A = this chain, B = another copy of it.
Amino acid sequence: MNGAESLVHTLLAAGVDTCFANPGTSEMHFVAALDRVAGMRCVLGLFEGVVTGAADGYARIAGRPAATLLHCGPGLANGLANLHNGRRANTMVVNCVGDQATYHRPLDAPLTADTEGFARGVSAWVRTATNAAEVGAAAAMAVAASRTSPGQIATLILPSDTCWDEGGVVAAPLPPPAAPQATPHAIEIAARMLRAGGRSIIVLGNAALTASALADAHRIAAATGAELLAQGSNRSIERGRGRHPIERIPYPVDQAVERFAGVRNVILIGAIKPVIFFAYPGKPGSPVPGDAVLHVMSRPEHDQAAALAALAAALGAPAVAPPDHARPTPARGEISSESFARSLAALLPEQAIIADESVTFGRAFFPATHAAAPHTWLNVTGGAIGGGMPLATGAAVAAAGRRVVNLQADGSAMYTIQSLWTQARENLDVTTVIFSNRKYAILLHELANVGANPGRTALDMLDLGRPDLDFLKMAEGMGVEGARATTMEQFNDLFAASCVRRGPFLIELAT
């Protein structure tokens, strides 16, 4: 057995049976091993940003890691932006990155690069295998590292001779360490703060955003008057009718500051301290007032379900029923952020998954869709543009039978547009809605914040017109059918039809 075969066997034994791949020459022994060892589903991406973002989306839905197969340093580099997003989502990914043979690296062939250096900024665990015999053990460690709560990115670099040499040894799966428990003391402090009164905000993140964890959070809120907020960007939120709604911390600095104004207690449960996305001259870096008491009840890696249940019990908080929102009817007439949100709430199928990279046009979507059918909402967590389409692709691979709806800004779509081809090849049930405003709208807004009257040079750098992007043509070029909607009625019809067909569909919404 060569090193590559030991790698595939070890991954499969550890429950990693899906591989998002964009291989090159140095990975051909891995590719050959995938033929000889049955059981790995391989999904090809035409660009590495698709591969890594899809692995993120897969893990968020499947609850276990996929592998990626990437080519040498520059191949990994092309995947870094979405690994950054994955790192911020605490997602599970096992990157398998080919590299020059151990003895070839000193010759500095053209593709030789600092692969470990590229990996380090996005990975909690990095190792370069040095011989075939250790590849299996290293792969088992990589999977365990990726499954370490709350989820991590592990990168295993495989010089080509460690794959082709004989002497591979399959390693048994390593049990990932169990999620640690929040301390009783930390829970008691939270209970005391909430009992003492004064305005309190509980910020929830990571596993505190499942439907059952949110039900416990609402018990706590109802019993104490505390307000609940989710982080601004989250790996996954379970929401919709029959579930307890949660607001998110607003993105714009002024709104975020206002939301926290006057709060006495801020309790973090699975969340990190709220931070503004970017600094602005004369504005604070965190929305939390300097005189508020900040208490970290549980960190992202803790067992949030247990922590919330313990806090609810400590407070003697009774169960509360979720609100009984009526499902709205689809919007008609002109397209706006609000009308789109209404139609989405009306038409979203049961158990749909939303991959949200809607940026500015989408700010109304989240608050207005609590009454949609039960669904899962995924954010691009790290702010690296180009996360949405790959996330949708990977989520669809993980969730056969569930519709994935990708709410996608046009500028951001262009970073990883190659995702559409993978959706077509795998016949994935993804409905992509492109919000086509033909500009970097968020940047126009930011530019307006910076100085008055932008001139031609600045406007040209924020304008996506001249020429207009035609997403239907691009989608068709990659095998995905689509249509354009210029009214809400058209959108409603196209969206409803897309949800009952098999395979991908793209709607270009003129906004």
- A residues engaging B (CB < 8 A)? 21, 23-26, 28-29, 31-32, 34-36, 40, 42, 44, 46-47, 49, 71-75, 77-78, 80-81, 84-85, 88, 100-101, 103-104, 107-111, 113-114, 117-118, 120-122, 160-161, 164, 232-233, 272-273, 275-279, 281, 285-286, 381-386, 411, 414-415, 417-418, 421, 424-425, 442-443, 446-447, 449-451, 454-458, 460-462, 464, 466-474, 476-479
Provide the residues of chain B in CB contact with A233, threshold 8 Å: 110
Q: Which residue of B lies closest to A49 (CB)?
A: B78
Given A118-B80, A121-B114, A473 and B468 contact (CB-CB distance below 8 Å): no
User: Can you list 24 pairs linking A and B with CB atoms under 8 Å apart?
Assistant: A24-B385, A36-B455, A42-B461, A44-B461, A73-B121, A77-B77, A77-B84, A78-B415, A80-B118, A101-B278, A101-B279, A103-B279, A103-B285, A104-B285, A107-B275, A107-B286, A109-B277, A110-B275, A110-B277, A118-B118, A118-B121, A421-B469, A473-B474, A474-B478
Provide the residues of chain B in CB contact with A46, threshold 8 Å: 411, 414-415, 464
Given A49-B78, A78-B78, A479 and B450 contact (CB-CB distance below 8 Å): no
Complexed CA–CA distance, A414 and B34 (Å): 24
Provide the residues of chain B in CB contact with A451, threshold 8 Å: 32
Q: Contact at A73–B77, with CB atoms within 8 Å?
A: no
Q: Contact at A74–B80, with CB atoms within 8 Å?
A: yes
Q: Residue A383 contacts which of B29, B44, B111, B473 (CB distance < 8 angstroms)?
A: B111
Q: Which residue of B lies closest to A81 (CB)?
A: B74
Q: Residue A417 contacts which of B31, B74, B417, B476 (CB distance < 8 angstroms)?
A: B417
Q: Which residue of B lies closest to A452 (CB)?
A: B32
Q: Contact at B278–A104, with CB atoms within 8 Å?
A: yes
Provide the residues of chain B in CB contact with A425, threshold 8 Å: 466-467
Provide the residues of chain B in CB contact with A35, threshold 8 Å: 454-458
Complexed CA–CA distance, A42 and B383 (Å): 24
Provide the residues of chain B in CB contact with A26, threshold 8 Å: 278
